Homo-oligomer: A and B are copies of this chain.
Amino acid sequence: MYPNWILQRAYLTPLRKALAYKNQSWTFQELNELSIKRARQLVGIGIQQGDRIAIMGPSKPELVMMMYACMHLQCEMVMLNRRLSPEELAYQLEDSEAVTVLIADEDIEKLPPETAHYLFSSIENGGEGELTIEKEWPLDQTTTIMYTSGTTGFPKGVRQTVGNHQASATASVLNIGLQPQDVWLCAVPLFHISGFSILVRSLLYGNQVYLYDQFDAEAISQNIIDGEVTHMSVVAVTLERILHTLEQRNMKASPHFKLMLAGGGPVPVDYLARAHSLNLAVAQTYGMTETSSQTATLASEDAMQKIGSAGKPLFFNQIKIADPNDKGEGEICIRGPHVTPGYIGRFAHKNATIDGWLHTGDIGCLDEDGYLYVIDRRADLIISGGENIYPAEIENVLLTHPAVKEAGVCGVDDEQWGQVPIAFLVLNEPVSVEQLQAFCLQKLAKYKMPKEIIFTDSLPRNGADKLLRRKLLQ
């Protein structure tokens, strides 16, 4: 049994600043009291301790409060990605069997029609129920459920337990260090593990989170110049925008700023060189929903001599390459207390690990010093602006259109987003690109929309008729 993080942190350092957003801020004590009140209000609307509920909203303090309330209630939180289409959300709600959706007022239009839900405002204005808050949480309690796709294109609900999140946060601190005055800027979505893990670290470390509800290159660059923040999680595209802003303004990062943690795919080498000349340390990471954030990190001081590497595992983690070829390349496998125990819903029967090893599907190798290089992403994964896009998901949608006979999707390089998806189609009957785009827009998140749709006579397949996505571009 481990302490309820929110209670324990409020007990240990009640008066430290926990959260800042625009001109407001909250101490750990205030966050705790507000979230307990919110938890009582959740009881008031009938939510019970341990319920599985879905939650959606922009990255604002109200969402943090609501998440902490759910954690006090030991609810399993299905973290809905507010960029998804109503159809995608409907799938997750059906698969997860969440009892209801707690939703920010401004996001109500995004919900599938007739979804059971409670608006944040109605909860915040509602009555309070009776509640005894547990002081301890078991390690195997599911804190969050995040959906991630895969080879089949059917998203899987990944469980992340108290133990997973704790192990991730403690392994991370052993790598990047900690000082009480550290402030972590969060401009990544709280529904992704990249954002939620910042909250977990804040509770465990006693550090402040400086929250943005959207990426604001000007304001964030100013924070970095002023040294108001010490850490930040970025993806390549947001890193570039910060570099660009600093360069334009001819300013450097404050010496108080310590580290950019760059996840969600590789960072181009020239970004690293530019960051270096702006006094901005960048640590590249490799991680995924199944590993509750980072599993490997490249120390900033190694960035230039190990270009392209994702670094070494964090202290409690292990990485191995399964069935390596003669160049040492094989499937990246991960083991450690941060690895998910498994899935929910239709994939609940699927083992997440084999003998404790998570087989990522990604292809990589370890160099002679043990540094990890990720060579090829699982299932032809497309990473666009830090979001994972699985070709099969888009293909599945396209194939439901009556005019489409065959569909193949792959990523192409894009200066702004890193990669974007494009689709190759074999048709049954004539249809316009615009018609297909309108069709997709109903069913897919915008960032998953194929940037280009190309009609062709046939798709490249192997002898077993398996689509060869890598050959689509040829």
Enumerate chain A interface residues (CB-CB to B < 8 A): 1-3, 8-9, 11-12, 135-136, 170, 173-174, 177-180, 204-206, 312-313, 315-318, 335, 337, 356, 370
User: Is A315 within 8 A of B204, CB to CB?
Assistant: yes
- Residues of B close to A2: CB separation below 8 A: 316, 337
- Given contacts A1-B356, A178-B178, A179-B179, whether A12 and B315 have CB atoms under 8 Å apart is yes
A interface majority secondary structure: mixed
Q: How far is the CA of A318 from the CA of B205 in the complex (A)?
A: 17
Q: How far is the CA of A335 from the CA of B177 in the complex (A)?
A: 26
Closest to A313 in B: B12
Select which of B312, B335, B356 is within 8 A of A12 by beta carbon. Answer: B312
20 contacts between A and B (CB under 8 A): A1-B335, A1-B356, A3-B315, A3-B316, A3-B318, A11-B312, A11-B370, A12-B312, A12-B313, A12-B315, A135-B318, A170-B174, A173-B178, A174-B178, A174-B204, A174-B206, A177-B178, A177-B179, A178-B178, A179-B179
In the complex, the count of this chain's copies comes to: 2
Q: How far is the CA of A148 from the CA of B387 in the complex (A)?
A: 55
| Extra 14 A-B pairs, beta carbons < 8 Å, given A2-B337, A3-B318 | A1-B335, A1-B356, A2-B316, A3-B315, A3-B317, A8-B315, A12-B312, A135-B318, A136-B318, A170-B170, A173-B178, A174-B206, A177-B177, A177-B178
Q: How far is the CB of A285 from chain B (nearest CB, A)?
A: 15
Closest to A205 in B: B174
- Residues of B close to A12: CB separation below 8 A: 312-313, 315
Q: How far is the CB of A34 from chain B (nearest CB, A)?
A: 20
- Residues of B close to A135: CB separation below 8 A: 318
- Residues of B close to A312: CB separation below 8 A: 11-12
User: Is B178 within 8 A of A180, CB to CB?
Assistant: no
- Residues of B close to A313: CB separation below 8 A: 12
- Residues of B close to A317: CB separation below 8 A: 3
- Residues of B close to A179: CB separation below 8 A: 177, 179
Q: How far is the CA of A231 from the CA of B155 in the complex (A)?
A: 49
Q: How far is the CB of A393 from chain B (nearest CB, A)?
A: 35
Which 5 interchain pairs have the tightest Cβ spacing?
Answer: A170-B170, A177-B178, A177-B179, A178-B178, A12-B312
- Residues of B close to A205: CB separation below 8 A: 174
Closest to A139 in B: B337
Q: How far is the CB of A441 from chain B (nearest CB, A)?
A: 46
